[in-house]
Each structure stands twice: as C-alpha cells, then as structure tokens.
Amino acid sequence: MDIIQSLAKELKLKKEQVEATVKLLDEGNTVPFIARYRKEVTGSLTDEVLRELEERLNYLRNLEERRLEITRLLEEQGVLNEDLEKKIAQATLLVELEDIYRPFRPKRKTRASLAKEKGLEPLAQFLLTQETGDVLQEAQKYVNPEAEVFASEEALQGAQDIIAEMAADDAEIRGTVRTLIRQKGVLRSQKKAKAEGRSPYEMYYDYQEMVKSIPPHRILAINRGEKEEFLDVKLEAPREEILSFINSYFIKGDLIGAGLIEEAINDGYNRLLEPSLEREIRKELTEKGEEQAIKVFAANLKKLLLQPPCKDQIVLGFDPAYRTGCKLAVVDPTGRVLDTAVIYPTPPQNKVEEAQKVLIELVNKYHVTAIALGNGTASRESEKFIADTLQLFDHKVMYTIVNEAGASVYSASKLAQEEFPHYDVTLRSAVSIARRLIDPLAELVKIDPKAIGVGQYQHDVNQKRLGETLRGVVEDCVNSVGVNLNTASAALLSYVAGISQNVAKKIVAYREEKGPFKERQELLKVSGLGPKTFIQCAGFLRIPDGENPLDNTGVHPESYDVTDKLIKRLNLRLNEIKFNLLKEDLKNLAKELEVGLPTLEDIVKELEKPGRDPREELPSPVFKAGVMEIEDLQVGMVLTGVVRNVVDFGAFVDIGVHQDGLVHISQLTDSFVKNPLDVVNVGDIVQVTVLSVDVERKRISLSMKKV
C-alpha cells in the first residue's frame, strides 16, 4: 500500500503536501510548530488537519506492520498461496486483515479442531462437493473406535462441526454478514427484569433503532444503562437473509449433503458467527459513539480555553459553601494573590452583616472591579448576598458566574500545593476561580482537561484516547495564543511546542534564580533545552519588555533577518508599523526577500499588532448586577445567556438562575441542524426564549429561534 497516496486521497490533499508533512512529523517536529512555521512546506495545513493526518498515518503504518506479520505467519504455516497474498495486499482495514487470518489463527480446542484431529475433514469436503453417492455409507468409512468415532452419525456430526466453523471463519462471509448487520440490523433495549424505581434510562425500556441510523450519544446512553443493569440490550440481525446468503455460498448445485450443510450453517451462525459479529459491531458502535463524544468534548474545550481574558481587573474570587463558609481571594491582573478571607453569609450560620463587612472592606481596600462567583454548592444564596451588597461598595463593581468544574481537582493537586503551600485547599479554589476570569487559558491548563466537565459521557469513553485528544486541543490553544515567558507557570509552559514538563520546571527555576528573561536566545542557557527544542518553542514564547521587540511577537527567531530586511526595505520604525500592502506587493516582496508568501503574511500581521492576543476579539464575559430565581422565569421571557456545554442533542445555556436551560437541537435555529456545534460553541453569548419551566424537576426548556 502506498501510504502517502492513501492519505492524500482520504484527506483530499496533494500527494506532495502529505509527503512533506510526513517528513516533518518523522523528523520530530510538533504539530503546532508545523502548523505555524512550516506553511510553505505543508500548504498551510491547520493544526486540526495535521492531527488527523498524524492519526491516520499511525493507523496505516500499523496496518502495514500487521500485513507483514500475517504474511510471515501464514508463510511459516505453509499455507500462503497466490490467492491469500492477493487478498492480504488488497485489505485496507485492520478488520479485513484479521478476517483473512482468522481461519489460520491458532485456537484453543474447538469442536471443529477435535473433529479434524479425528480425521473427519475429508468427510466435510465430501458433503460440500458431492452430488451423488450415499452420505451414511461414506460416513461409515470414518468410524474408528481408536479415534473415538463409534458410529457414522458421530462422523457426520464432526463433519458438520468443521463446516460450521468454516462458515463462521470465512473472510468473505464475515465481510458480507457484517455489512448486512450494519445496514439492516436493529439495536433493541428493554427494561431489565430486576431494575426497580425511576432511572435516567426510562426512554430505553422498550426501544429499538436501526444500527445504521442510531446517533452516537444514544449508543453511549444505552451502553451506560446496560452497565448499570437497568437495560437488557440485544443486536438483532436480519437472520433469514444472512442464512440464505451463507447457504447459497456453500451449497452449489444439487448436493447430497445439502440438508446436513444447512444444519451445520445454522449451528455455526447461532453458536459462532452471530455472537462474534454482535460483539464486534457493538464494539464498533461504541467506538463511533466514543469518537463523537471525544470530538464534542474537544470542540467545547477549545472554546472554553479560548474565552477572552479580563485584563487590568482586580478580581475577587468567591468560592461558595454552606457549613464551612465561603472562601474569598483577591487577585491582581497578573494573578498574584493580594488577600484572602472566609465569610459565613449562607446557612446554617447566616452571618450576613458580618460577612458584608468583610466583603466591603476587601473590595474597597484593593479597589476590586469584578467578582468571580463559582457556580457550585450554595452559589444561589451567595449570588443573592453579592447582589444585595453591590450598592454598598465605594465604586462600581460587577459580578459574573464562573464555571468552577475541576477547581477542587486543582486545589488538591501537587501543583496547587507547590503554588500555595500555606493555603487551605478551599482557599486555593477561590484563587483558581478568580484567575479563571482573569485568564481562563493560563488557569485551566493546570487542571486535567477531563475534569473540566464540558463533554458528554466523558467517563464512558476510552480514557487514553480522550486524554491524548484533549492534550492536543490544549497544546493548540496555548500555542495559538502564545505564552509570556516571564510569568507563565510550569503547567502552562509544558503545553508549549517541544517543551516537556521537566524542561518547563527548569525554565521556571532558571527564571527564579537569574531573573526575567531578556531575550529568547537566553532560553538556550536553560539546562536540557537544546537547539532542537528552541526551534520548536521559541516562536510561541513572548517577552513583553525584552531587549528585542520581535521577542514579543509570533515572529520566529529564524525569520528575524527577513523581518529586519522588510522593515529597512519599507523604511519603517518597528513600533510605528502600519502596513498598506496589496496582495501583489506582498508577492513581490516575498520574491525580493526570498521568503515564502505565507511566512511574510504572518510577519506582517505580527508587526502590525505586536503582542496581539487573538482571544481579545471574542465577546467578553456577561457581568451582572442582579439575581433571578428559577421561580421568576415565565414562558415567553427573552433572556441573554452563556453557552456552558454543547452536546449532540443541543446546548445548555446559563441564564443566571443556577440551573442551565436546554436548547434542544430542534430549537437552535429555524432551519435543520445536523450538529449543534455548527450553530453554537461553549462561551457564546446568546439570546434565548423560555419555552417551559419545571420548578420541581429543575428543568428549563429554551429556544434560540427568532421570535
């Protein structure tokens, strides 16, 4: 197989593009580096396409390895022939290769293998080929007490066992039957007899859907219901059509053993083929569901990480609680903690006046401009307390609700202990909540992406695959934004292209010992950070007040000479650059400066806005000055909300009543929506209309359709 050609065809890319990209990957270059600084080589492939290409490259290479391995094994068994070689060479999927190898794979003892040991294989071939003769008379020839075949009926049973296994192991049969089940099979679920009480799976108590059309999220829901023993699940195949096909495959002409062959095929299907393919297709469906769930999680995570920062704000992080009190932390615009406190405005203490005094003192002392309230336990009571206190401050203060998912995970982590060794776990949470508002990306990278909670069924999917995908998302986000080399934590630095966790810690240690970095080249003095790593990471690291202004841009050091020539050529000052270049001008300049056009275009963008943060172009968080309860909602109300999570069946929107409302996929727009992510993303600010409110069950139904 020509892997490069296959990738080009599958991903709709030019062969030269794929060839060059594979070479870059094989040389150890990271995806963010290739996407940003090797556009001429790849034809400006995005990080998403590069990651897909890398994943498919690994699959096809594994396929080739398995192809060679199976060829070797069949050769060693002495069964490799021209027909098998051709089938192996034409296989394009791992499952096809395994089907070809299946009849020859060493097995534990089976009824068929025991029959073969008794010498009954020729009798099976007789049944499959003879149109004349006497079956019982032929079977009598194989009666052999020494081989434990005591009667012709036993010989025929052994021959049937061989035919049954042949039918179950034949690659062509398995391929065709697999396709029939995919196209015409039905997944059916019913309430388990011992299941009692209400459950989230009631809609699946008597449910069926075609295998080919069942949505991925429904597969995972049914799987979970089965695992939690609420559901019995069965995959029903088009049995009659399958048996008819297998019979016609084996019974050619008017065979004298046709009846016995049909019995054997029926047995082989019931005992071997159907259970095997049911497991395989259930696994296939599960993988499909998992893949979609991972895609949704990845898309949501990316939007969450790229939420705009709240710059130049003094923020008070407010971690709500009941019995243990609400934890407060005042944080400056750089993330440095200025002060902390604990107050008890919520039940059972209800020390409202005392709590107000502490809050007012902190807000006025540090001139707090924004309060970031976590959305956890006691958030509703805490929000009312904050709203009632707003008018008592010396200056205008707004508040916003911050999703605190994963804050407790961070607070108890080794990283948090190192960062705040003298703080209580809950005070660390308050700091994290405040920092999430100041710079969501810098704070959220400290938390395992799986704990952030913007997915669906994330605990049911392949955790290794989920972890790898989410790490890739975080890497792409961190590198697209860029990192301040002199303020970034080791956690944030470890996501920069080429930098390992160990090297990230060494960068921080060097910074603490020697002081702030003055130029990017100084990175080469860090132990363990050599020229190869420097090339990968340098362009993504920023030094705002460095000796070289280019160190605060996305211009890579390898392009500094070209950049200097460009500035001199246009007779411009670095801090006053305003380009007014047409596409044709850029093309001519690229030729003159002997640089690729994509690289020159990127240099121009960076020089026009040095230190630009791409997140600043997005809508800011929604700040509030009052509070609502779910009881205040009325059908027909039009409200502004923030999308907190997107799933296959719609989007959950925070409208400020501590219970996210669901915009079902059918209510996202006036037109048909195949995928909610085509319409909304996590962090989007949207206008919604209240359709229904169930106060008892805390369910809110919303619509984004135009009124």
Using an 8 Å Cβ cutoff, are 382 and 373 in contact? yes
Exposure of 151 by Cβ count < 10 A (0-12 exposed, 13-18 middle, 19+ buried)? exposed
DSSP state for residue 551 in the 8-state scheme: G
Taking the C-alpha atoms of residue 40 and residue 28, their distance in angstroms, rounded to an integer, is 18
- Separation CA 668–CA 688 (nearest Å): 9
Q: Are 494 and 474 in contact (CB under 8 A)?
A: no
Alpha-carbon distance of 414 to 412, in angstroms, equals 7
Cβ neighbour number for residue 336 with a 10 Å cutoff: 11
Q: Is the dihedral of CA 177, 179, 181, 183 positive or negative?
A: negative
Angle, in degrees to the nearest 10, between helices 171-184 and 239-250? 160
Give the count of beta carbons closer than 10 Å to the beta carbon of residue 533. 20
- Answer yes or no: are the C-beta atoms of 304 and 680 closer than 8 Å: no
pLDDT for the residue numbered 75:
95
Residue 193: its pLDDT value, please? 87
Return the pLDDT at 403. Answer: 84
Query: Looking at this protein, which amino acid is placed at residue 303?
Result: K
DSSP line for 600-623: HHHHHHHHHSTT--GGGGSPPP--
536 Cβ neighbours under 8 A, 6+ residues apart: 29, 30, 33, 497, 498, 499
Cis amide leading into 275 (omega within 30)? no
Non-local CB neighbours of 653 within 8 Å, separated by 6+ positions: 641, 642, 643, 644, 660, 661, 662, 663, 686, 688, 702
Helices (H), 78-197: 82-90, 94-101, 111-117, 121-129, 135-140, 152-169, 171-184
Using left for φ > 0, alpha for ψ between -120 and 50, and beta otherwise, residue 611 falls in: left
Give 10-residue mean pLDDT values along the chain (707 residues): 93 96 97 96 95 96 96 95 94 94 90 95 95 92 92 96 96 96 97 84 94 93 93 96 96 93 97 96 94 90 89 94 95 94 95 96 96 89 90 90 84 88 89 93 89 75 89 94 93 96 96 96 96 97 92 95 88 61 77 92 85 74 68 86 89 86 94 90 88 90 89
How much is the pLDDT for 49? Answer: 96
Residue at token pair 């080009």: 8
Beta 337-343 vs 326-331: how paired, if at all? antiparallel
Give yes or no for a contact between 430 and 327, defined as CB atoms under 8 angstroms apart.
Answer: yes
Query: 545 near 530, Cβ under 8 Å?
Result: no
Structural contact between residues 217 and 289, judged by C-beta atoms closer than 8 angstroms = yes
CB 433 within 8 A of CB 12: no
The tokens of 126 are what?
A: 């007789």
Closest CA to 25 of 3, 10, 12: 3
- Taking the CA of residue 427 as centre, how many other CA atoms within 13 Å lie in the half-sphere pointing to its CB? 17
- Tell which residue, 110, 95, 285, 109, has the closest CA to residue 185: 285
CA-angle at 661, arms to 660 and 662, nearest 5°: 125
Direct distance between the N- and C-terminal alpha carbons of the chain, in angstroms, rounded to an integer: 56
- Tell me what pLDDT residue 581 has: 60
Sorted by sequence, the CB contacts under 8 Å of residue 606 that are 6+ apart come out as 553, 554, 555, 612
Residue 293 to residue 648: CA distance in whole angstroms: 8
Parallel, antiparallel, or unpaired: how do β-strands 398-402 and 370-374 relate? parallel
* Total-model pTM: 0.82
Domains and CATH numbers, the chain: 3-104 (1.10.10.650), 126-160+173-297 (1.10.3500.10), 315-477 (3.30.420.140), 513-617 (1.10.150.310), 630-703 (2.40.50.140)
Report the C-alpha gap between 410 and 425 in whole angstroms: 9
Backbone angles phi, psi at 200, to 5 degrees: -70, -5
Residue 11 tokens read as: 């991903």
Q: ∠60-65-71 over CA atoms, to 5°?
A: 125
